[in-house]
Amino acid sequence: MTVDSTEQYGFGTKAIHSGAPIDPHTGAVIEPISLSTTFAQSEPSKPLGIYEYSRSANPNRDNFEIAVASLEGAKYALALSSGSATTALVIQSLPINSHIISGGDVYGGTHRYFTQVGNTHGVEATFVGNLVQDLKANLRDNTRLVWLETPSNPTLSVTDIAKVTQILKDHEAETGNRVLLAVDNTFLSPYISNPLSHGADIVVHSVTKYINGHSDVVMGVLATNDDELHNRFRFLQNAIGSIPSPFDSWLAHRGLKTLHLRVRQASQTAQKIAEILAAHPLVSKVNYPGLKSHPNHDVVARQHRDGLGGGMISFRINGGANAASVFTSSTKLFTLAESLGGIESLVEVPAIMTHGGIPKAERESNGVYDDLVRVSVGIEETDDLIADIKQALEKAAA
């Protein structure tokens, strides 16, 4: 693995130069895509270079991992075939019959994995509404992992990672039981937040979203500073085979090189849209971490770079499910679609789309009502996006 030598630089410089060596054979400034599945050996068990077989390691995957580790301030990163495969790998690394505690409004697929797949090797999940308040009371002798999404999806509640870390440290001091903290950082990307620096053990991403950022790759990544955890994850991934292709690794690495520009732009526009929504008579509630009215605005100020709110907004629209439907069908630049974090703006209704699989009562207890609209702000011109939101609100009001 090539070592990252960009430690002294700022984020944007790291994004462009870490894991991006000039090709020593041709001088190419952009790495070639290395499709070979196998690598020649000079004598049995003596590979010519550092690679043997592409499931175990591949140059494009290595370079992407070096870049992500650099941006997350981590010792190691491990790229996987999807965000969901990343979640699965973390859960599969736990001993049989482990207990995990998860935030309530997590990604729908994560909820599905915790409740309908993890149980096949005895993993039981408890979901709690507020990890800082409810974590201690829910810790058991066999609790091995806490899963946290901040901001949560789709209500964008923000959790103080350092507080959760402290609760787990106190628990370890009292009982001797180490409970790992995994933070799903997909919604913010490493540009806005670095959970490891606040005490998390593992940070995970759906690369599909901001890191790749162009809605053309499904991929995942995790990062950690812990040698033992990393070795276990790498061993398991090689055994299971949940690897991304060289081409996807290359594309995701290309996407990552503009992460700082994209996320900054999306955040700046989202801030303006959130403020307009908050003042609009048709909108009853706006969830956006960048608003001063956000319940955890003080945590945002500490935990997010420059207090940025990110590119995701959700809001409740007056007129119920029907108004939500008219609004999301009336936008012209915001495409009605699931997913988020791409260059193009998207809009959706979580209750019947991304979160449709969660029972209504549970959904609503997490704030996911039928009139909730989720917006992923892209990087089109700010004024065009604002005009589009305004005209769709007018149609929904009529």
Return the range that interacts with ligand PLP (CB under 6 A); candidates 103-111, 159-167, 172-180, 270-278: 103-111
Active site residue 55: yes
64 part of the interface to ligand PLP, by CB under 6 A: no
In the bound complex, what is the minimum distance in angstroms from residue 384's beta carbon to ligand PLP?
25
In the bound complex, what is the minimum distance in angstroms from residue 86's beta carbon to ligand PLP?
7
Chain centroid to CA 179: 21
CA dihedral 23, 63, 217, 105 (to 10 degrees): -160
209 part of the interface to ligand PLP, by CB under 6 A: yes
| 177 neighbors 211 (Cβ within 8 angstroms) | no
184 part of the interface to ligand PLP, by CB under 6 A: yes
Return the range that interacts with ligand PLP (CB under 6 A); candidates 5-13, 34-42, 183-191, 255-263: 183-191
The count of residues interacting with ligand PLP (CB under 6 A) is 16
Return the range that interacts with ligand PLP (CB under 6 A); candidates 53-61, 204-212, 260-268, 361-369: 204-212
Catalytic choice (14, 61, 144, 209): 209
Q: How far apart are CA 159 and CA 396, in angstroms?
A: 33
105 part of the interface to ligand PLP, by CB under 6 A: no
Q: How far apart are CA 26 and CA 41, in angstroms?
A: 22
Q: What is the DSSP letter of 4?
A: P
| 374 neighbors 380 (Cβ within 8 angstroms) | no
Q: How far apart are CA 271 and CA 26, in angstroms?
A: 45
Non-local CB neighbours of 289 within 8 Å, separated by 6+ positions: 151, 156, 158, 296, 297, 300, 304, 309, 310
Which residue, judged by CB position, is nearest to ligand PLP in the bound state?
83
Q: For residue 277, how many C-alpha atoms fall within 13 Å in the half-sphere facing its CB?
A: 31
Q: How far apart are CA 176 and CA 291, in angstroms?
A: 40
In the bound complex, what is the minimum distance in angstroms from residue 263's beta carbon to ligand PLP?
15
- Amino acid residing at 325: S
Active site residue 184: yes
215 part of the interface to ligand PLP, by CB under 6 A: no
Single out the residue of 82, 98, 155, 345 in contact with ligand PLP (rule: CB under 6 A). Answer: 82
Q: How far apart are CA 244 and CA 85, in angstroms?
A: 10
102 part of the interface to ligand PLP, by CB under 6 A: no
Active site residue 107: yes
Single out the residue of 19, 59, 83, 244 in contact with ligand PLP (rule: CB under 6 A). Answer: 83
Binding site for ligand PLP (CB under 6 A): 82-84, 107, 109-110, 149, 153, 184, 186-187, 206, 208-209, 218, 220
Provide the annotated active-site residues.
Answer: 55, 107, 184, 209
